[in-house]
Structure 1
Amino acid sequence: MEKENVPQDKSNLTKNNVKELLYATDENGNYTTTLSTGWEPKTIALSNSIEEINERIAEARQQVLNGEVSPVVYFMEVNKMDLTILASYVGMWKWRVKKHFKPKNFATLSDKILQKYADAFEISIAELKNIKTE
């Protein structure tokens, strides 16, 4: 793509005055770098992804409030983690973390284990135990 044809569409990046670094060709056909504020197809894909993440967070929150899963599931979604990533952060096997997804197992966790989760999610143990009902 030629430097003067690099898209400058409005995107989620423009809200924070952030520009993306791209490679383009200059007038001599040599590759150079240029800045772009966004590209509409990429913006649409990013917006769809963010919308899906927000839906997953809302669903996880409702499951916690219904007593179907533990708060670990909710905070894992809020922090955009999956089971593998969370297990590595807390230093436990995946099967063990998955066991903590059940409310009855979560209720029996020691403060030491709860602190590992709280640290991974950058919250307090109190926040981990009490999801706001707002």
Structure 2
Amino acid sequence: MKKEEVPQDGNNMHEGKFRQLFYATDNAGQYVPVTSVGWEPENVAMTQAWEEIHAKVEAARQRVLAGEASPVLYYMEKTIMDLPLLASYVGKFQWQVKRHMKPAVFNKLSDNMLHKYAAAFKISIKELKEVK
């Protein structure tokens, strides 16, 4: 692909915070790095994927605010983790992490366990306990 042919459809991926790096040939035939904001089909798919992620995060936040789930669920969704990944980060079995998503169980967690979750989410323990 030539440098001038790299797609630049103008729809910024992920709210303008993401650009792709392509390698294309310049007029001398040398490969050079070229950034792109993407092309329309790819941008549409990425937009739909991010909308789905934002919806899941908001649904988790509402469950936490309603007292149906603990902040562990919200931050797991917010950091785009799944249960197996989070369990491996905190050194627990998946069923234990799932249990920690219950508010009554979460409220009884030790400071050490809260620290592990906070470290996995790269936030403070105070932030972990508060969901706004």
TM-score of the aligned structures, taking structure 2 as reference length: 0.83
1:21–1:33 Cα contact (<8 Å) kept: no
1:7–1:39 Cα contact (<8 Å) kept: yes
- Could you tell me how far apart the structure 2 residues matched to 1:125 and 1:14 are? 29
- Could you tell me how far apart the structure 1 residues matched to 2:49 and 2:57 are? 12
Structure 1 pair 126–48 and aligned structure 2 pair: CA distance change class (3 A)? same
- Secondary structure (helix, strand or coil) at the match of 2:21 reads strand
Give the structure 2 partner of residue 50 of structure 1: 50
Query: Segments of 4+ in structure 1 off by > 6 A?
Result: none
Give the structure 2 partner of residue 97 of structure 1: 97
TM-score of the aligned structures, taking structure 1 as reference length: 0.82
Amino acid at match of 1:125: I
Give me the CA root mean square deviation. Answer: 2.4
Aligned residues: 130
- 1:76 and 2:83 are equivalent in the alignment: no
Deviation at 1:79, TM superposition (A): 0.7
- Could you tell me how far apart the structure 1 residues matched to 2:40 and 2:5 are? 14
Residue ranges of structure 1 left out of the alignment (5+ in a row): none
Structure 1 pair 128–14 and aligned structure 2 pair: CA distance change class (3 A)? closer
Q: Following superposition of structure 1 onto structure 2, how do residues 18-37 of structure 1 map, counting pairs within 5 Å?
A: 19-22=19-22, 32=31, 35=34, 36-37=36-37
Deviations 1:2-51 (A, max 9, x none): 654331112227934x6423356789xx9956523311111111111111
**Identical counterparts, % of pairs:** 51
Give the structure 2 partner of residue 15 of structure 1: 16
Residue ranges of structure 2 left out of the alignment (5+ in a row): none
